[in-house]
Amino acid sequence: MARQVWQVLKTKHCERIGEIASLEVHLIFPADILPDQGPRVIGHRCSHGLRCNQLDSPTCQWAGTLPGYDPFC
């Protein structure tokens, strides 16, 4: 059976919220019968994305409110 996990890819101090934020990647690892395949990347998210969406101004692309700004770059 396939296994799904969220793994931390990068961490950085976010200037918008003033805390440490993590860029997380959603991985699906194949079943044990397919050991030679690597995991599939399904999506990315910021650990504070929901909190940033509640702010009055646009924050970054990982919160989905400002596509041109990537704080983890």
* Gap between the Cα atoms of 40 and 66, Å rounded: 26
pTM greater than the 0.85 cutoff: no
Count: domains in the chain: 1
Amino acid at 52: C
* Gap between the Cα atoms of 5 and 1, Å rounded: 13
Determine the pLDDT at residue 44.
93
Band of the pLDDT at 57, cuts 50, 70, 90? confident
* Segments forming the whole domain that contains residue 1: 1-73
Determine the pLDDT at residue 30.
86
pLDDT digits (tens, 9 = 90+) for 24-54: 999 999 887 766 788 999 999 999 989 888 8
Determine the pLDDT at residue 34.
66
